Chains A and B, each alone.
Chain A
Amino acid sequence: MPTLSSATPITPELIAAHGITPQEYKHICEILGREPNITELGMFSVMWSEHCSYKNSKPILKLFSKMNSELPHQEHLLVKPGQENAGIVDIGDGLAVCFKIESHNHPSAVEPFQGAATGVGGILRDIFTMGARPILLMNSLRFGDLAQPISQHLFRGVVAGIAHYGNCMGIPTIGGDIYFDASYEGNPLVNAMALGIIKKNEIVRGAAHGIGNPVYYVGATTGRDGLGGAAFASRELTEESHEDRPAVQVGDPFMEKLLMEACLELLHTDALVGMQDMGAAGLTCAGCETASRASTGVEIDLAKVPLRETGMIPYEILLSESQERMLVIVKKGKEKEVERIFEKWDLHAVNIGEVTKGDKYRVLEAGKIAAEIPAKALADDGPIYVREEQKPAYLKDAQKLDLGIVKELKDFTAVLKKILSYPSIASKAWVWEQYDHMVRTDTVFYPGHDAALIRVKGTQKGIAVSTDCNSLYVYLDPFEGGKIAVAEAARNVVCSGAKPVGVTNCLNFGNPMKPEIFWQFHQAVAGMIESCKALEVPVTGGNVSFYNESPQGAIYPTPTIGMVGLLQNIEKRVPSAFQNQGDVIFLAGETFNEIGGSHYLMIEHGLKKGLPPRLDLKREQALQQFILAAADAKKLSSCHDLSEGGLALALAECCLKSTDDLGAEVGDLSEVREALRGLREDALYFGESQSRAVISVKLQYRDDVRKLAQKQGIALYEIGTVSGDALLMEDRVHLPVREMKRLFDTTIPNMMERSL
């Protein structure tokens, strides 16, 4: 793009360069009753980008709201999807949790450290903007094959960036999920989730109420960094994307820490009317959204905005995505109180305008109008497209799997060893030891558990969180994959004893203009809704990230789930790993001949094929009810869900994550084997049939647990005992726990050290 000035004439080329179609431009002219100037064109281009307007996804996202409204219980959903910066769920005793997950994929692809760091910064602002104090971070990451130097570079940078920001903010990063797969080469996924806690009566809205109330700009100065980031995120990555590096913002977590403390301190005054962070589309978005939510107008004067560079034109100031900035609407007459707080924290707090009558977002520059746009039109009336869908051609071949050609195994121990040292499966301690996961002294279950768990000080409560998505399943069957993503995340939370209370999601897909991609998107969402409905968990919001494509093609469709669960009494928590020698081990749930889409098939046979396992939601519901009932009765020593790697890996993890290297003796699986005629041995050991968990219980609770399972109609097989210091499975698997630990623990450090 040539150098812009405020006098740059609008040409068709310039319109196209802003990603605006001729029809959209016509619509803009109708809204304004005239042609826009260059500043206004820029504002429309960012607000109507996919990243801000969801123009290609809205018709599908509405299905989540529809599902929510049909749930039997919805009174605990205090802030619904799309209403505010993040959703809020009531957890009782006057408290609520505010949470959201968001992507920062494209910035991380070109500049992994800053891209990931500012992803964390952005999601945290979404939380404290609502008045909630962030208490935990999670992240869901996808990279290409870790053997590739470029994947190692991105992995190292992203992890360091997340650590840099989260650690400095003093908010623990307590878990997440990481997979490595060639489909993410050149387009890694960085999805960051944050959760905050808030008193129900202190929720802050991002609305500019009260004509005449002053509008404050607080926090960092505005520069040219991140110019047009929202538009950048709404394109495919190409060979030239690295030239977009100026579209990546630079984060300053120290500044954000001060900003967070100041904003939360402001809550306890009566000066605050509304608050909105300046993230994507910066001052443009914050101004028009706050006005639109309150059905008011907002007028600001750019001459008052603190700048870090000289010669910035209105276009640049309005589109800048400089980090750590907020817009605060203040009660008239309380200005001094607000200024005093920000002064204490050594932060800018500048009165840049006021709430006005009418519906316009008016931007002045040295007394002259630089832009004047109806706020609602800019914020909410962007175009909406119903995209074409088509079932992808690849599915027919990809779903075909002739079990006859998959040879039954001879050496089960060797396969288990291979799975244990596969990067997606192996220990991620190399990652989470770089994250401060203990600050705030609330973390009860550290990363590596099925779900991370924190206590809520001053109450008996615990909050369990899990992020998850098996994207190979979604690739092979988007509907079933979407279902499983929700169900598995819920199961993770349930395994810790917590009841799922809300879902946030980050929908990472390819280019929505391609009918096959849009079909995947629609199907996956429909699948997710199916599970949310059955498990009665509302969706509180989230984020869509399209255009995740590199020159090699689209990523696997990855609808990442952030599941939040509530544990009423933290004393009833259930760990994932074995706890005591002599405990009885049960397998809960049924095993089918399902090896399609499994990690076993991929790792051992080199096939990413077949139909992923089927999820029967009735069975899933029953399993979760059973686990919650058993946890509530304090009958469980441990509970771990079965996923990638199946029964053998689940047992291995229960052993190697135990504190005393506890082994397990699983002498006889014939009861499970006989439940399904013709069950393959590899399916029994490594298959990924859904709705299953490995639990261990004290001997004296054996019958109680059986009764509870019977009540829910759950198949429960007693398969062995916790004993010794090795995993023994029939005459097939014999692995000392220390050996498993070595494989599990050293895989990633070894790969990362070699690359230094």
Chain B
Amino acid sequence: MKAAVIVFPGSNCDTDCFHALRDVMKVPVEFVWHKERNFPKVDLVVIPGGFSYGDYLRTGAIARFSPVMDAVTKHAAGGRSVVGICNGFQILLEAGLLPGAMLRNKTLQFICKHTWIRTEENLTMFTGKMEPGEVLCVPIAHGEGNYYCDDDTLKSLHDHDQVVFRYCSETGEVGEAFNPNGSKDHIAGIVNAKKNVLGMMPHPERASEDLLGSSDGRKIWESLLNVLG
């Protein structure tokens, strides 16, 4: 597996994703500057978290016009995998590669803490290493992670097994008390209909080493390695 991490002006989890892939998972990886129109042939594109364009206008709203996004769209259209984390998820929504939108957190405050998420769908290339319903400890850090979509979209997401992660308790119970940001149906991560594009608010790159408190996020990288070699 070869990977690329896109760097927008204002990206700030780019080096973290790079570190998790290269130093922890031993995956060949390179940075791709957002002004690039083409990028090297890779299996995985990671759109990292941060504040691309300072979150001006709306999170992800400007980044989606960056030249590199054409290449990302083509990459995805070719069936190859894309992971958007946090601001990366927001960019994928703005770019129309995933359905729905983000609202401010219900507390109207930025929240950074460990959350528990439940694996709702383990038949994707991102979750193959997990048991159905497996609970992972992965941190969030965002001000706008309150996922929203209309009821038809939500139904369609469920009908097509596109809801991949939902916030839950340590034991896997889903409910208001465990939803940190007000996300519709407690959604933490979804995939597109073709199931090759994943967007998630929690940061797996921050949970890839025991030293940092949790290594549950590694399972996502391991699942990808399993499929992409």
Contact = CB atoms under 8 A, between A and B. Distances in A.
Contacts of A710: none
A167 B211 contact: no
Contacts of A439: 12-13, 16, 49, 141, 206
A438 interface: yes
Given A439-B13, A441-B19, A167 B53 contact: no
B112 interface: yes
B188 to A, nearest CB: 17
A354 interface: no
B29 to A, nearest CB: 15
B211 A438 contact: no
Contacts of B15: 440
Contact of B10 (A163, A168, A436): A168
B12 A346 contact: no
B111 A433 contact: yes
Contacts of B143: 167
A433 B211 contact: no
A432 B114 CA distance: 13
B153 interface: no
A167 B9 CA distance: 14
A257 B13 contact: no
Interface string B102-139: 00000001111100000000000000000000000001
Nearest to A430: B109
A435 B112 contact: yes
A168 B52 CA distance: 9
A170 B206 CA distance: 13
24 contacts: A163-B109, A167-B51, A167-B112, A167-B143, A168-B10, A168-B51, A170-B13, A252-B54, A253-B51, A254-B53, A254-B54, A254-B55, A254-B56, A432-B112, A435-B110, A436-B110, A437-B112, A438-B112, A438-B139, A439-B141, A440-B15, A441-B212, A446-B213, A457-B19
Given A168-B55, A257-B51, A436 B212 contact: no
Given A436-B141, A441-B20, A167 B110 contact: yes
Given A168-B51, A434-B110, A257 B10 contact: yes
**Nearest 4 CB-CB pairs, A to B?**
A170-B12, A254-B54, A168-B51, A441-B16
A169 B54 CA distance: 9
B162 to A, nearest CB: 28
A444 interface: yes
A570 interface: yes
Contacts, number: 84
Contacts of A258: 9-10
B94 interface: no
A167 B54 contact: no
Interface residues of B, number: 33
A443 interface: yes
Contacts of B56: 254
A166 to B, nearest CB: 10
A160 interface: yes
A455 interface: yes
A446 B55 CA distance: 26
Interface string B8-28: 011011011001100100000
Given A170-B50, A436-B141, A441-B206, A257 B19 contact: no
Nearest to A756: B108
A444 B211 contact: yes
Q: Is chain B's binding surface mostly helix, strand, loop or mixed?
A: mixed
A433 B113 contact: yes
Contacts of A25: none
A444 B214 CA distance: 11
A254 B56 CA distance: 9
Interface string A439-469: 1110110100000000101000000000000
A345 interface: yes
Most buried by B among A168, A433, A439, A570: A439
A43 B110 CA distance: 40
A257 B12 contact: yes
Given A346-B9, A433-B111, A457-B23, 15 more contacts: A167-B51, A167-B112, A168-B51, A257-B9, A433-B109, A433-B112, A435-B112, A438-B139, A438-B141, A439-B13, A439-B16, A439-B206, A440-B16, A441-B16, A441-B19
B9 A345 contact: yes
Contacts of A437: 112
Most buried by A among B49, B51, B205: B51
A570 B209 CA distance: 14
A446 B53 CA distance: 28
A570 to B, nearest CB: 7
A570 B211 contact: yes
A745 to B, nearest CB: 13
A440 B211 CA distance: 13
B175 to A, nearest CB: 19
B54 A163 contact: no
A258 B12 CA distance: 11
B206 A438 contact: yes
A513 B16 CA distance: 50
Most buried by A among B49, B111, B112: B112
Nearest to A432: B112
Interface string A555-596: 000000000000000100000000000000000000000000
Most buried by B among A169, A170, A253: A170
B110 A254 contact: no
Most buried by B among A434, A438, A446: A438
B62 to A, nearest CB: 11
Contacts of A455: 211
Nearest to A429: B113
Contacts of A254: 9-10, 51, 53-56
Most buried by B among A163, A167, A346: A167
Contacts of A346: 9
A586 B118 CA distance: 41
Contacts of B53: 254
A195 B110 CA distance: 23
Interface string B34-53: 00000000000000011101
Contacts of B12: 168-170, 257, 439
A163 B15 CA distance: 20
A443 B112 CA distance: 13
Contacts of A345: 9
